Structure 1
Amino acid sequence: MFSRSLFLTHVYKNVIKMSVFVQKINPITGANDWVVQNEDYDFHQEVARSAFADMLHDSERNQLYEQALRAAINKKHAEGKKANVLDIGTGTGLLSMMAVRNGADSVTACEAFKPMSECALKIIALNGFEGKIKVIPKRSTDINVGEQGDMRERCNILVTEVFDTELIGEGALSTFQHAHKYLLEKDSIVVPESATIFAQVVECPLVQNWNKLKDIFNDDLELLLKVPDSIQNCAGSAAVHDVQLSQLSYNSFNTIASPIPVLRFDWSGQTPFIFERSTINTIKAECDGKAQAVFMWWELQMDTENKIVLSCAPVWAHPWTKLKGDVEIPWRDHWMQAIYYFPNDINVKKGQEVNLISCHDEYSLWFNLTHNLRITDSDYLNPVCSCGLHANFSRTRIGQMNDSRRNKKYLSLFEEQLNNNSCILVLGDGFYFALTAAKYGVKKMYFLETNTLSRRILLEFINFNGIKNVEVIPSLEKLNEIDLKEINCVLGEPYFTSSILQWDNLLFLYLLKGIKKLVSNDIQVFPQKVVIRAVAVHFKDLYKIRSPLGKCEGLLMKNFDQLIEESSNISDDTVEAHPLWEYPGFALSEVEEILEIDMAHPPESATERKGNIKIQSHMECNGIAVWSDWYPLNSPRFLISTGPISPITVGEKINWDMYTRQGVYLFSNKCKTNEIKYSFSLNFSNGHINFKCD
């Protein structure tokens, strides 16, 4: 999934040990580190990203593909023809083996990623299909057909899975077009035969928090900080926001318009492929409200008769729910749902007609909504961020900026701790909320903003709100040129754009260490401490991204499991970042306090903690969740948690903060044990953190 080290470049190979020096940005120190890695580090990193291919754990997907393949093969045989199957992007060879066992006369599979094509050959042999499937280690667009080509003749059945959350983001349109033009016969059957995109127009303040910054008010509704017009009026980003929509509370949104099909893609080749298109659907608002976003998902029509359908709908719109009532729908992390934000909120009245505009190019989708009877060219434009906020910060971070619970605690801190003698240095990226401190009459504020875009946005906030007693410092070098002896307070959330895991924000400590010699000795530091905590978890589904397949639909996957495990051990960090509110999990232990750090007096050397997490539930443990709790003041009243937002109870579902990503240590197999041993080390001299579980 995610690596908290950013791969930059290979420099040279050590010939004796066959290793490479890889440059990584250490997010805690902010420095570039050179580390020795396996010579195939980047290859293993790419393999490991498949994360044990949770797609292959999707039994419904696998079974529907096989049903549709069987129908296609039988249809060709009923026509008196051979069934010659082409499998594009075969991966493990699963679909190719399914084709053989369902009577295909010939099967050709292509896989451009060489380690995967080699793995497919081993799996095919392991399952007794050697000699029955030809594997071509090429992209389908590079395959030649002819007497001396990769394929002697064209095929008449195509099976492929080249889809992502956005359906077309992996180049499905060009893949299908090329296959029909060069690799398939005229009357070929394609599995899947077509796809349909659905859109549901909603009002949802919760998801809008991930998109639009809000003005800041105090409890008396006094305006403290206004968002600049340039940010308020920005169309935002058209980039897909993929989310497990089923985990949203049904009460968190109002349906302005129920789900409707808005775009259909015909993969059969019977109609021309269109790479840029727009559709308009006139819809009636089902309630009063603000149309803010589209919830999007898609269906695959797997066979020519549209009897076999694979749906990626959220639980409230899923066909299974409609047929069976309250059911558990298939879990998919490879194909989620998506949110697309309108450039502007549209006020609607119940029964009012509005036009939903749905657009796509070769790789992406976007949507708009308009009252206008006459639609202009601008209504079709793909939204582009003009303010810098959406380009610089993740959706999660924008939601964090809008988090009213968090912001109220900072306001209380400012009211209780700051006065007209306070001279403040703010450390971090995008802590625009700190500007509200200027409203409390502080003497002076300095912001260290090394991020160029974040600095530009900060200056817009300052100018737009007419704040005078603020100075923005662009670098540590510039900070060193200023007499900072008057500073008596250092403030941070902390947050840095380089951070992936929450403990990466300990970069605050390293900045603080370098600054302390420039400021007074009796300086106040907020936050005063940070506590790293953990809990043992039974994840309902998330464990699948690290769980070996063993068998998949009766076919052995041993070689694939070994390849992924080996690559993960070489290239992956032990702890990954995930938005755990999207992945239901149940607490199996009490919260374990791993490490507490006094921000004003941190340890100077390496610190190591070892302990045991006691399992107090009969459920199997398949992961450890970790997070950081920050204390602006050393009091539970000021706790700002990046983990659970309500007390954890053993055996019950954990309620996670929706505006941060938590750390997860996943086990490759479910664990039945009474306790889990862990070790945690933090080397303060180089910023390296290591967390391991046994």
Structure 2
Amino acid sequence: MRCALFKPPLSSSTLLSRLYFSPLPTIICGDLLRRVMASSSSSSRAFQLRLNPLTGDTEWVVIEEEDLLETEKSKSLLATTSYLDMLNDGRRNRAFRLAIEKTITGPCHVLDIGAGTGLLSMMARRAMGGQGVVSACESYLPMGKLMRRVLRANGMDKNVRVFHKRSDELRVGVELNSRADVLVSEILDSELLGEGLIPTLQQAHDMLLVNNPKSVPFRATTYGQLVESEFLWKMNDLYNNEVNISDGVRLTPAGLEGIFGVKPQQHAMHCDALSEEIQLLSEPFKIFEFDFWKRPESHGEVVMRIPATVDGKVHAVVSWWVLQLDFEGSIFYSTAPGWINSFNTSKPPSCIRDWCDHWRQCVWFLPSGGISVSKDEKVLFQAVHDETSVSYSLKVDGQTNFNVYKTDDFNIRLLPERIATYGDKEWRMAVLTAVRSALQNRSSPLCVVADDSLFLTIVTASLSKTSHVISVLPGLQEKGALYVQTVADANGFSMDRVRFIGKKASLLGKDDLNQRKVDLLLGEPFYYGSEGMLPWHNLRFWKERTLLDPILSDDVFIMPSIGILKACAMSLPDLWRSRCSLKYIEDFDHTTVNETLGACGDLPSPQEGPCLPYFIWQCGEAKELSEIYSIMEFNFSNPIHACSAKKEVVFSKPGVCHGFVLWIDWVIDEKNSVFISTGPVSRYWKQGVKLLSKPVAVKAVNDSAEIEASFDPSSGELIVRSSISELYAI
């Protein structure tokens, strides 16, 4: 997962964890959590663009080049990347070492694209017996500087030439003395192509490599499997899910089934966590092969007939890839789910791996609720790839058209978890009950929906025939407005009572409200494009409510009324292993990267890792070791202010504690009796994880720990610290 020659489109969600370097940025690096851009090393200062979670605005921070790895903001940015998780993947590291030693048998010129910490470059240099040339290309400047530290720590800073450039900026005769004989690279995401593998290989073969070069990896093969899963179905098919809900709200009315859905793409997911909820409907099948040692094609297409192994309904295609790292085909690495455990000529290899988060399986959802199949029935499967992605379409014999997404099907595209939330009967009932109660005994109330909640906009307009609704939709904007207009009739309200204002809720004034005051201020809270952020970043609603104070009525109903920070001590061995501090990786010292990458374990006492967002249900082995505790409350009836609290957490079960999981429960009714939780049980929200500096053994029930949290109203950040006494660090 490296910086490579790739320029995908930008979205509002990319603003978090991105660096811009002067001159103007020309590259995006890494997986969708890293989101960084960089230029060449000629710049003497960096301009860091960060998203302020409380305002939705971006802020520029100027950092001198020599301080790139020293500032807390730069460290926190690197800590949110997947580098640490990847470097802790021992099976990956070992496979690359064995393949490099097998491929490089004498002095030559090796090109490492997306070099990261320089691990593969050092492996290549060692394989040549200290001879030859290694050119390492790492365009992400902070990582390039970190690589130089690692090279110095291993006595290889004179043996590896480092270029802080994109691979397409390198020129033979300028940076490179000659074309390279061997390519080593690891520019792969969970889908395989999303980090720009194809354009990077194309340019390298055209301009930087000799004819028929050696390469590590040698080949990558993608595989797929047809599956049935009610859980996956609910994450995609809101229309048919709403058929079973009788609350009178229709986000996807009849005749408009395709107006609301997930983006037609492969969604990375830990499918092992769903193994008991998935029915396999086919054997695994090979889809595409990509050879690193030759120039790839920009586009490809395959059509095949896949026999169904049992009766069922195909809701999704689960896909993964297998790397063949050496020419002979004896060294493999796979991202296959755990249920793929065969390794023979008739089925794809799996090379079962430990839990890791840098590569997951991918899920492709079928539109229109999927397709029904009978045992032995052939499913016609079509796969198409372009330079950066793969898409699928399916149909069974007798159907005239493929089951395929159309580009104009959707007005609103949301993440699968948001689709599932809007189809959750209990969640909908809680929101409906709270809004209905707030509207009672109010004549012609003025309601402001301050966030991107389409559900609240429709519900409020539907429940009261006299209400006036102003919806802001800061992220969805015009598309959201068009959507609400389209479904208004089906939900029984007139658009003359709904107005959209193209500004932030915090900027609303009396002139926007016709000199009226707000009777209901509503939010889920949900801000489009911020779904991957930490739970407390949705306290943006509190900030906006504070700025709106002059236009709120004396008896205003605010939903949610309170946010409650919750915490639970947990055993998270798989997540811990992926984030623990590094020592030697295949005999190369990596201790110098630990602080910068936010590692846990074996660090000096004051140092603590950051809080990071995860779906706990996808984090491998997880066990609660305490009850759930309320740490502190954010009361939205008061202006936003600094908060801090300490809480003693008493362990209820023995085990190894690796950290605390934190989330927000939202109180959404006037009587403070209706809660919506974003905790691990729901599976539709990410939680915050604070790993301990060292894991501790909980030997007896009633042992205790202390957790301290402080909220900064200027940045929207929550600082979490923990201490465990009378326990023994492992």
TM-score norm. by structure 1 comes to 0.81
Residue 90 of structure 2 corresponds to residue 62 of structure 1? no
Deviates more, 1:663-672 or 1:549-558: 663-672
Counterpart for residue 298 of structure 2: 275
Where do 5+ consecutive residues of structure 2 fail to align? Answer: 2-12, 23-43, 723-730
Residue 623 of structure 2 corresponds to residue 586 of structure 1? yes
- Whichever residue aligns with residue 215 of structure 2, its letter is V
Contact persistence 1:548–1:669 (CA under 8 A): no
**Number of equivalences:** 657
- Alignment match of 1:679 (pick from 708, 711, 730): 708
Structure 1 Cα separation of the partners of residues 210 and 45 of structure 2: 48
User: C-alpha displacement at 1:197, in angstroms?
Assistant: 0.6
- Alignment match of 2:455 (pick from 414, 433, 449): 433
User: C-alpha displacement at 1:313, in angstroms?
Assistant: 0.4
Structure 1 Cα separation of the partners of residues 462 and 450 of structure 2: 20
Contact persistence 1:242–1:336 (CA under 8 A): yes
Deviates more, 1:347-356 or 1:122-131: 122-131
Residue 583 of structure 2 corresponds to residue 560 of structure 1? no
1:458 to 1:172, Cα distance in 2 relative to 1, 3 A? same
* Pairing of 1:298-337 with structure 2 (within 5 A): 298-319=321-342, 329-337=353-361
1:221 to 1:677, Cα distance in 2 relative to 1, 3 A? closer
Residue 672 of structure 2 corresponds to residue 643 of structure 1? no
Counterpart for residue 693 of structure 1: 721
User: C-alpha displacement at 1:641, in angstroms?
Assistant: 0.5
* Pairing of 1:161-560 with structure 2 (within 5 A): 161-214=186-239, 221=246, 223-228=248-253, 229-230=255-256, 232=258, 236-251=262-277, 253-269=278-294, 273-319=296-342, 329-350=353-374, 351-371=376-396, 384=407, 387-390=410-413, 393-413=414-434, 418-419=439-440, 421=442, 423=445, 425-434=447-456, 435-436=458-459, 440=463, 443-451=466-474, 452=477, 453-468=479-494, 470-474=497-501, 475=503, 476=505, 480-481=510-511, 482=513, 488-497=519-528, 499=530, 500-513=533-546, 515=548, 517-518=550-551, 520-544=553-577, 546-560=579-593
- Alignment match of 1:71 (pick from 102, 108, 112): 102
1:410 to 1:688, Cα distance in 2 relative to 1, 3 A? closer
1:565 to 1:642, Cα distance in 2 relative to 1, 3 A? closer
Structure 2 Cα separation of the partners of residues 409 and 135 of structure 1: 57
**Superimposed CA distance per residue, residues 431-461 of structure 1 (whole angstroms, 9 cap, x where no aligned partner):** 3333345555554251432431323322222
Contact persistence 1:27–1:498 (CA under 8 A): no
1:157 to 1:31, Cα distance in 2 relative to 1, 3 A? closer
User: C-alpha displacement at 1:106, in angstroms?
Assistant: 2.4
**Superimposed CA distance per residue, residues 370-398 of structure 1 (whole angstroms, 9 cap, x where no aligned partner):** 2467988xx698853653421xx433323
User: C-alpha displacement at 1:642, in angstroms?
Assistant: 0.3
- Whichever residue aligns with residue 232 of structure 2, its letter is V
User: C-alpha displacement at 1:368, in angstroms?
Assistant: 0.8
**Superimposed CA distance per residue, residues 603-650 of structure 1 (whole angstroms, 9 cap, x where no aligned partner):** 6653322334345655443332211111223778632100133xxxxx
Question: Equivalent residue of 1:214, what SS?
Answer: helix
Question: Equivalent residue of 2:429, what SS?
Answer: helix
Structure 2 Cα separation of the partners of residues 122 and 431 of structure 1: 47
User: C-alpha displacement at 1:581, in angstroms?
Assistant: 1.7
Same amino acid, percent of matched pairs: 25
Structure 2 Cα separation of the partners of residues 420 and 295 of structure 1: 51
Counterpart for residue 624 of structure 1: 660
1:421 to 1:274, Cα distance in 2 relative to 1, 3 A? same
Question: Equivalent residue of 1:564, what SS?
Answer: coil
- Whichever residue aligns with residue 110 of structure 1, its letter is A
User: C-alpha displacement at 1:586, in angstroms?
Assistant: 2.3
1:129 to 1:216, Cα distance in 2 relative to 1, 3 A? closer
* Pairing of 1:66-145 with structure 2 (within 5 A): 66-73=97-104, 85-103=110-128, 105-113=131-139, 114-129=141-156, 131-145=158-172
Contact persistence 1:432–1:461 (CA under 8 A): no
Contact persistence 1:366–1:382 (CA under 8 A): no
User: C-alpha displacement at 1:58, in angstroms?
Assistant: 0.7
Structure 1 Cα separation of the partners of residues 19 and 574 of structure 2: 33
**Superimposed CA distance per residue, residues 475-522 of structure 1 (whole angstroms, 9 cap, x where no aligned partner):** 556662335869654443232336533223333334444556545433
Contact persistence 1:579–1:660 (CA under 8 A): yes
Contact persistence 1:235–1:344 (CA under 8 A): no
Counterpart for residue 691 of structure 2: 666
User: C-alpha displacement at 1:266, in angstroms?
Assistant: 1.9
**Superimposed CA distance per residue, residues 192-251 of structure 1 (whole angstroms, 9 cap, x where no aligned partner):** 211111111223332233334337869884644251444625685234311111111432
Counterpart for residue 650 of structure 1: none
TM-score norm. by structure 2 comes to 0.77
Query: Over aligned residue pairs, what C-alpha RMSD do you find?
Result: 4.2
Structure 2 Cα separation of the partners of residues 275 and 10 of structure 1: 29
Structure 1 Cα separation of the partners of residues 206 and 62 of structure 2: 47
- Alignment match of 1:611 (pick from 628, 647, 650): 647
1:44 to 1:29, Cα distance in 2 relative to 1, 3 A? closer
- Whichever residue aligns with residue 720 of structure 2, its letter is K
- Whichever residue aligns with residue 679 of structure 1, its letter is E
Where do 5+ consecutive residues of structure 1 fail to align? Answer: 12-17, 646-656
1:63 to 1:216, Cα distance in 2 relative to 1, 3 A? closer
Contact persistence 1:177–1:273 (CA under 8 A): yes
Q: Between the two structures, name the one with larger relative contact order (CA 8 Å, sep ≥ 6).
A: 1
Structure 1 Cα separation of the partners of residues 176 and 350 of structure 2: 48
Contact persistence 1:236–1:384 (CA under 8 A): no
Deviates more, 1:583-592 or 1:127-136: 127-136
Question: Equivalent residue of 1:384, what SS?
Answer: coil
User: C-alpha displacement at 1:320, in angstroms?
Assistant: 7.5
Question: Equivalent residue of 2:302, what SS?
Answer: strand
Contact persistence 1:194–1:265 (CA under 8 A): yes
Question: Equivalent residue of 1:660, what SS?
Answer: coil
Structure 1 Cα separation of the partners of residues 462 and 399 of structure 2: 46
